[in-house]
C-alpha cells in the first residue's frame, strides 16, 4: 500500500509516518500544504492520502479542497481526512468527489493504533471509515426529525446497523457492538440492501453504496 500525507504539523506528520512504518505501511511522500499534496499525488501514484483539514496558507478547509483536487488528478484515490472537529458538510463534499474510499476521523483516533490502521486499510481498499462522532451527528439529526425520505423504510435496528457500517465496521464487529449474533447482523444487512434497492453486485460495493445513501440522506437539509 502506498500512502501520502498532507499535514503541516511536523510532530503529527512524523508521528503518523513512524506509526505506519512500524506496521509496514509505506509512506511514499509527505506534504505540508494543499498544493504540495496535489503535486505529490501526481508523481507517487498513492492508494491513499491522509490529509489534515486545516492546512496552510488559509488554515480553513484547505485540506478538503486539496483532497478533492488530488482525487481529480488520481481517480479512485482513497482519502482519509483527519480533523480536530466534526463537520458533516465536508464529508458530504468528499462523497461528491467521485469514486474511492472515504474516511473522516477525529485526530485523536490516531492514538487507537489498531483502529487507525484498520481505517487506513479500509479506505485504501475503497471502503469508508467515518468517525463515530460524525455518524452520531448524522443519526441524531435524522432521528429527531420526522419524515426524511430515503431511510424511512428502515427499522430502527437496521438504521443502527447502517450507522455502524458507516463507521466502517465489519459484520463481526457490528455483532459485537450490538451484542447479537453474526447471523442476525447479516440478516439486517441483507434487508438494508433490499430496502435501499441496491444492485446485487459484490457485497463490499453494496456496503459502500448503502453508506453513501445514509450519508447523502444526512446531507439533505
Partner 1 sequence: METTAPGPSHATSALSMHVAIAAFGAILLALVWGVTGAGYFWPVWVWFAFAVTVALHATIRFALLRHGLERATVLVTRLAAIAGAIILVIWMLSGMHGFWPAWPLCGIAAVAGIFLIATNQDRLPGHRRLVERVGVLERTREGALSVQAAELRRIERDLHDGAQARLVALSMLLGRAEDRLADRPEAAELVRRARDEAGAAIAELRDLARGIAPPVLADRGLAAAVDALARRAAVPVTVDAQLGRRPIPVVETAAYFVVAEALTNVAKHAPGASARVQIAERGDRLVVEIADDGPGGADPAGSGLTGLRQRVEALDGRLEIASPPGLGTLVRAELPCVS
> Segment contacting partner 1 (CB under 8 A): 5-13, 28-36, 40-48, 161-169?
5-13
Q: Which residues face 50 on adjacent strands?
A: 5, 80
Q: Which is nearer to partner 1, 131 or 171 (CB)?
A: 131
d(CA 79, CA 94): 8
Distances (CA, A) of 44 to 14, 26, 137, 165, 183: 19, 12, 35, 31, 42
User: What's the distance, CA 191 to chain centroid?
Assistant: 23
Which residue from 3, 38, 47, 54 is in contact with partner 1, where contact means CB under 8 A?
Answer: 54
CB of 188 to partner 1, least distance (A): 26
85 contacts partner 1 (rule: CB under 8 A): yes
Specify the 3-state DSSP secondary structure of 49. strand
* Contact set for partner 1, span 9-48 (CB under 8 A): 9, 11-12, 15-16, 18-19, 22
Total binding residues toward partner 1, as defined by CB under 8 A: 36
C-alpha cell at 72: 481529480
159 is a site residue for partner 1 (CB under 8 A): no
Which of 32, 87, 118, 160 contacts partner 1 by CB under 8 A?
Answer: 87
Stretch that binds partner 1, among 28-36, 54-62, 163-171, 207-215 (CB under 8 A): 54-62
Q: Which is nearer to partner 1, 200 or 221 (CB)?
A: 221
Alpha helix stretches (DSSP H) within 32-178: 34-44, 62-73, 88-95, 113-124, 132-143, 156-167, 171-178
Task: Tell me the DSSP string of 156-205.
Answer: HHHHHHHHHHHHT--HHHHHHHHT--HHHHHHHHHHHHHHTT--SS-HHH
Task: Please choose, from the candidates 107, 77, 89, 120, the residue with its C-alpha nearest in 3D space to the C-alpha of residue 7.
Answer: 107
The pattern of x and - marking residues 93 through 112 that bind partner 1 according to CB under 8 A reads: -------------xxx-xxx
Do the Cβ atoms of 174 and 161 come closer than 8 Å? yes
Work out whether 152 is an interface residue with partner 1 (CB under 8 A).
no
Residues near partner 1, by CB under 8 A: 9, 11-12, 15-16, 18-19, 22, 54, 59-61, 84-85, 87-89, 106-108, 110-114, 116, 137, 140-141, 144-146, 218-221
Amino acid at each position: 500500500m502506498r500512502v501520502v500525507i498532507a499535514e503541516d504539523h511536523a510532530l503529527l506528520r512524523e508521528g503518523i509516518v513512524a506509526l505506519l512504518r512500524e506496521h509496514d505501511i509505506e509512506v511514499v511522500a509527505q506534504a505540508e500544504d494543499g498544493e504540495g499534496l496535489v503535486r505529490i499525488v501526481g508523481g507517487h501514484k498513492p492508494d491513499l492520502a491522509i490529509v489534515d483539514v486545516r492546512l496552510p496558507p488559509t488554515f480553513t478547509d484547505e485540506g478538503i479542497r486539496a483532497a478533492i483536487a488530488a482525487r481529480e488528478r488520481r481517480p479512485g484515490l482513497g482519502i482519509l481526512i483527519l480533523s480536530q472537529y466534526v463537520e458533516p458538510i465536508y464529508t458530504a463534499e468528499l462523497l461528491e468527489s467521485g469514486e474511492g474510499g472515504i474516511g473522516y476521523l477525529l485526530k485523536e483516533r490516531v492514538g487507537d493504533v489498531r483502529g487507525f490502521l484498520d481505517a487506513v486499510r479500509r479506505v485504501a481498499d475503497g471502503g469508508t471509515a467515518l468517525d463515530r462522532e460524525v455518524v452520531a451527528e448524522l443519526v441524531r439529526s435524522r432521528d429527531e426529525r420526522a419524515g426524511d425520505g430515503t431511510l424511512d423504510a428502515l427499522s430502527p435496528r437496521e438504521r443502527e446497523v447502517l450507522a455502524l457500517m458507516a463507521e466502517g465496521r465489519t459484520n463481526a464487529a457490528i455483532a459485537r457492538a450490538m451484542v447479537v449474533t453474526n447471523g442476525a447482523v447479516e440478516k439486517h444487512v441483507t434487508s438494508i440492501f433490499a430496502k435501499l434497492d441496491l444492485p446485487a453486485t459484490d457485497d463490499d460495493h453494496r456496503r459502500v453504496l448503502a453508506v453513501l445513501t445514509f450519508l447523502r440522506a444526512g446531507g439533505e437539509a
